[in-house]
Structure 1
Amino acid sequence: MNLIKRVGYFLVDVLGKVLGFLWRLTSLVFSKIYEFFLFIVGLDKEVDFFSNESRKFAVIISFAFIVFVVFFILVLAIFLTPSNITVVPNVVNNDILDALPEIEKAGLFVSVDYTISPDVPRGIIIKQIPSAGSRVREGKIIKLFVSIGSGEIVLPDFSGKTVDEVKSYLSSKGMRVNVEYVQSENSPSGSILKILPSPGTKIKPGDQVNIYVAIGSSSMPMPNIIDMSWDQVLLMFDSKNINVSITPVVTTDPEKDGKIVDQMPKEGDMVSPQMNVQAYVAVLGNEENVKNTKFLLYSLDLKPLYNTNTGKTNYFIVKVVVSDSSGQRAITKEYQELSKLTLPLKIQGIGNVKVYINDILVKESTL
């Protein structure tokens, strides 16, 4: 007990000394302020910093300063504390339809994220952010995670829907979609022949749905041409009698140079000879040079040119000389019988093409 008293006396003594020191320090500081004030107003007299007059002035100034600081803090608290603060209600384990009015009443907005939860009934809120009891501004968005149960649905009837619409719906439900194209002379190209499982079947996320789509004799599903070279693409679509336009885009990646980076239509869409396929090829260089670059398929029937300009022979050397702003280059082909010449060309600026058969110029074109 005596020890406790001694410790208490010691602490009181220390506190008294600290307060005394602070008092003397405050008196000294405000005495200096008082002296400066007298100097400003022109009263030239010696000031005793520790006189009763100086101490009284220091006390008055100290008190006024403390009052000012307290007043300033109160004003800041009043003006900086938002008045539109609300408390987030607890809606976890509530039905989403019951929770919405309660959240709106609190002046808050809602963002809903649906998630599969086999153990929680459909429509029940699993989690909320921010948590219940949080103090937030009115108008803040509260994110709710709502159960959709096991996610099982009954496959609807897709009559009259397009392949893209069906794929979009099934993907949004978490289903895996497989599209197969089937030759059909009796159904319009691109129409859905059947869907398996059939409409009315219960399916759950992760299940595969097979869509069988009709294609006509002249139609084909658009292949994936991304990362193919531009000349391969031109020759491939030419063999299918489908028009293709190639647009250059700037790249800084040498590995992408000359390769297709985008396509329209997208993979799986139906294309036919009446359609125009658009491909985008990456090209190294500045924007101006790339913009003036053309990719085209040069086609020429050689047989009429031989009959007109050359004598009869069983061996033909065809040389194509291409000139453009990048320079001149020659391509040579050998034929035992003249036929159609099909040549993918990359032209920068204005190009000139000369075709020779057995060193005889038979055709000159400007591209």
Structure 2
Amino acid sequence: MILVIISGLIAFSLVLQGAEQTVVPDVRGKELADALVVLQERELYPKLQLRFSTDPSLKGKVIDQRPSAGTVVKAGKRITLMVSKGSVVDKVEDFRGKKLEEVRAHLQSLFASQKPLLRIKEPVTYVFHPSPPGTVLEQKPEPGTELTGLTDLVLVVSRGPTVEKKKAPDLIGRSFQEALNLLVEEQLPFVFQLQGKTPGKKPGSIVEQTPKAGEEFEPGTPLLLTMIELTEIPKDFRFGMFDYTLPLYPVAVDLKVEAVSPGGEHTVLFSLKHPGGRIAFPYLQPENTTLVLSVFDREVIRHPVRGQGN
């Protein structure tokens, strides 16, 4: 009799315990309202947390839960539901009138912590326009377009107003340093080339140029200059050519060339607006100097001055 009573109590206790426990359902991917109904059926209560997600289509849906589905808990327990607020950006902004580099930086910052939903389609289209160079003129998709996934942003950007042709200065007979100084002063790109010792021609002087003096040429077109190679080099100095090809830029960039001494002292040799492409110029510098070419103050290449002709 006692055993029967004990068995009955144990069975009754198990029934009570079973009534107090339930299995956490999987509500991930459900709309919040639907998820709440499912929890209510299991006598569970929600605790909501809102967060951004990378997928705009998840807005208003449960993206995670704690405890996980399948966990056995007591009835009445609070289940934490992470609900998507949508993406950080759900619509295309109006970028017209802004600088291209500003748009690039803005998008990079916006999607620094999640997958991007908007990216600039390359190459960007550039057109001549009265607006300052680099200004966004047109965009597709239009401002206000909803983002439902990774989208290409097509931009039309101002190249700046059309400019008048330039006339080539007369550089024949000048020393290479005089020619270089004049070209930098007039912000004209250049490519120097060497010619060996020539009777009747002064070493270091310019003997040919294209375009010729007085000829008109399109802005951004490099002047091709031929100079006679130096024959007398001061002690501990080196003469040579710096020759490098940059990418072609749709808008002229700020280019700078510095000489860095072995002790680390920087001296600016010249700076100018440059359209990209090839740049070549002669130098006469102390041995072990390093020539540094930078674009927008970002180092592009180093050229060590170590030996004759380097």
Q: State the TM-score, normalized to the length of structure 1.
A: 0.29
Q: State the TM-score, normalized to the length of structure 2.
A: 0.33
Higher strand share: 2
Which one has more relative contact order, counting CA pairs under 8 Å at least 6 apart? 2
Higher helix share: 1
